[in-house]
Amino acid sequence: MASSILVTNDDGVYSIGLKILYDAVERLGDVVIVAPETPKSASGLGITLHKPLRLERIEYWGLDIYTTNGTPSDIVYLALNQIREKIDIVVSGINIGDNTSIQVILSSGTIGAAAQAALMGIPAVAFSADVQEPDELGDPVYAAYLTRITRLITSHILSRGLPEGIDLVSVNYPRRIGPGTRAVIARPAKIKYEQRVEVNVDPHGRRYYWLYGRIVDPEPGTDVYELKVMRNITITPITLDLYPVNTDSIDELRVLEELVTRDLSRSSSG
């Protein structure tokens, strides 16, 4: 039986990245595309619980696509409950803008969709490119490279599954790809941006604040460094197990168990 593949993104149905991702995986199985009707960047793993969602079927890029007002995370659940009985792999992207560093990974909608799939036990890969404009992503030569490498990676993970303890994989493409471009496994940097605030005054005389990020110097070996400085394709395995491995550190925190429990037990007499 053909593999069941869900293609999604967070830039929305009109992003060329969705089309490139579809082209990459279409021959690998039975593909369904479900995308946000408008961009949902920085939605992280947000789920929509307090309002109704829509699911429409449109034709775009010459493809049959479901669109929704929901987030990339919502899409995983809508697809599993309403469209497919079973999904073998979720691929998300190709995002306009890279998703490197833990800071960015945790707030990315592209990776959010992959993470939700991972929580359901479905292998997932998020793809992002270090470009700023749709035109850069859509450049025919560049897009052909993306299609080819994305297919190779998806095909490999679809047939082998993800190694134990790896919940999902995030792939970032450098701005230029050619015959000499290398692919490397890279650990995520902690932060990519130092957040700053610009203060200004609106036409009504009221002050406003605008957040912006200044890229910090990346540490060698991190995804940010390998992508931005070395211009490699970075492959970042991610675990969602948020529990620390350092048992000494956890034991150090255990003193709180006793402190709190003892304090409460005394409250009867006090």
* Residues from 71 through 90 that contact its own copies (CB under 8 A): 73-74, 77-78, 81-82
Nearest to 153 by CA among 98, 235, 222: 235
In this chain, which of 62, 163, 203, 205 binds its own copies, going by CB under 8 A? 163
| Residue closer to its own copies, measured from CB, 61 or 235 | 235
Half-sphere exposure of 157 (CA within 13 A, CB side): 27
| Residue closer to its own copies, measured from CB, 61 or 216 | 216
Q: How far is the CB of 200 from its own copies (least distance, A)?
A: 8
| Residue closer to its own copies, measured from CB, 86 or 206 | 206
Considering only residues 194 through 213, tell me which ones interact with its own copies, judged by CB under 8 A.
195-197, 199-200, 202, 206-213
What 8-state DSSP symbol labels residue 216? Answer: P
Show the CA angle centred on residue 25, arms to residues 144 and 33, nearest 5°: 115
98 binds its own copies (CB under 8 A): no
State both tokens at 153: 């990676």
State both tokens at 141: 């030569």
166 binds its own copies (CB under 8 A): yes
59 binds its own copies (CB under 8 A): no
**Furthest-apart CA pair in the chain: how many Å?**
77
Half-sphere exposure of 222 (CA within 13 A, CB side): 18
Considering only residues 225 through 264, tell me which ones interact with its own copies, judged by CB under 8 A.
233, 235-246, 248-250, 252-257, 259-261, 263-264
Count the neighbouring beta carbons within 10 Å of the beta carbon of residue 57. 9
